[in-house]
């Protein structure tokens, strides 16, 4: 899972990144304009948003995201802790609000709670599809207890597909999520990695669950969906 940290203080941004790095991938933006651009162009599971940002403040970043119909969950992290600030944050579209200084464990618990609500998975540390189990903290995958040898972006793609099982995921969504919009790599790389992933899944009979919807994308499904 991928988080975007929008925080203008580089030291605090790094502290937040270090807190969540054992469990989540992260990207960092250091002003409101950059944060809005990243959040608009890329796909994240959660945004950690400061309010007192240069160029564009956090409220305006959040307002513009929701105006663009980008509903990525947002956890506001700020020193502004009045009820007025909190009310404005929630009414602008925030999913949660945490006042600085904050406890590391509380931050992780709030992130986990938001992700549970947004993904529908109530054990974020482990995503499951039939007998396939993805351990997000250790980045390991097993099928009926037997380990699969997945590396790097093979694992990332499978985790993304499992977290969106029974849903159509476009090639563009996978590319933006795994490689990011700043990469020079062609989006055709998705097909190469999905093909390799399918070969690995064939060893345990799960390749038939990874459907290709031609010209659109992919679906991980236990049913007989369209090819």
DSSP string of 106-153?
A: HHHHHHHHHHHHHH--S-TTEEEETTEEEETTTTEEEETTEEE---TH
Pairing label, strands 74-78, 46-49: parallel
pLDDT bucket at 96, cuts 50 / 70 / 90:
very high
Please say whether the beta carbons of 128 and 166 come within 8 A. no
Which uninterrupted H or E stretch holds 77? Answer: strand 74-78
- Asked whether residue 167 falls in the same domain as residue 111, the answer is no
Residue 1: CB atoms within 10 A of its CB come to 21
227 falls within a domain: no
CA distances from 5 to 9, 81, 90, 103 (A): 11, 19, 18, 17
20 falls within a domain: yes
Which uninterrupted H or E stretch holds 74? Answer: strand 74-78
Domain boundary pick from 119, 141, 163: 119
Q: For 130-144, what is the mean pLDDT?
A: 88
28 falls within a domain: yes
39 falls within a domain: yes
Closest to 94 measured CA to CA, from 39, 48, 43: 48
pLDDT of residue 227: 41
pTM passes above 0.85: no
**Is 224's pLDDT higher than 60?**
no
- Asked whether residue 91 falls in the same domain as residue 165, the answer is no
226 falls within a domain: no
34 falls within a domain: yes
- Asked whether residue 178 falls in the same domain as residue 114, the answer is no
Range of the domain at 22: 2-119
Q: For 164-190, what is the mean pLDDT?
A: 82
CATH of the domain at 24: 3.40.50.2300
Round the average pLDDT of the chain to a whole number and report it.
89
pLDDT of residue 148: 92
Domain count, the chain: 2
pLDDT of residue 188: 85
Closest to 80 measured CA to CA, from 64, 66, 92, 71: 92
- Asked whether residue 93 falls in the same domain as residue 167, the answer is no
For the chain, the C-alpha Rg in angstroms (whole number) is 18
- Asked whether residue 34 falls in the same domain as residue 113, the answer is yes
**Is 167's pLDDT higher than 90?**
no
Which uninterrupted H or E stretch holds 218? Answer: strand 217-220
Q: For 11-33, what is the mean pLDDT?
A: 92
Q: For 139-144, what is the mean pLDDT?
A: 91
CA distances from 115 to 52, 108, 120, 145, 218 (A): 25, 11, 8, 25, 23
- Asked whether residue 131 falls in the same domain as residue 22, the answer is no
**Is 3's pLDDT higher than 60?**
yes
**Is 112's pLDDT higher than 50?**
yes
């Amino acid at each position: 899972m991928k988080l975007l940290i929008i925080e203008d203080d580089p030291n605090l941004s790094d502290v937040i990144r270090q807190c969540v790095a054992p469990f989540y991938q992260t990207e960092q933006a250091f002003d409101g304009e950059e944060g809005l651009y990243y959040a608009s162009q890329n796909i994240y599971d959660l945004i950690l948003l400061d309010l007192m940002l240069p160029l564009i403040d956090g409220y305006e970043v959040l307002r513009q995201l929701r105006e663009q119909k980008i509903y990525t969950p947002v956890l506001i992290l700020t020193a502004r802790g009045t009820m007025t600030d909190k009310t404005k944050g929630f009414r602008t579209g925030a999913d949660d609000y945490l006042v600085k200084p904050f406890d590391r464990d509380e931050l992780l618990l709030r992130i986990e709670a938001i992700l549970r609500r947004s993904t529908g998975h109530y054990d974020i540390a482990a995503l499951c599809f039939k007998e396939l189990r993805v351990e997000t903290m250790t980045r390991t995958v097993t099928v009926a207890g037997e380990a699969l040898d997945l590396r790097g972006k093979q694992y990332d793609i499978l985790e993304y597909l499992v977290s969106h099982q029974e849903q159509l995921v476009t090639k563009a969504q996978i590319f933006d999520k795994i490689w990011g919009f700043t990469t020079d790599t062609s989006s055709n790389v998705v097909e190469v990695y999905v093909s390799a992933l399918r070969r690995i899944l064939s060893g345990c009979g799960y390749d038939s669950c990874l459907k290709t919807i031609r010209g659109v994308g992919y679906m991980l499904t236990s049913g007989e969906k369209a090819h």
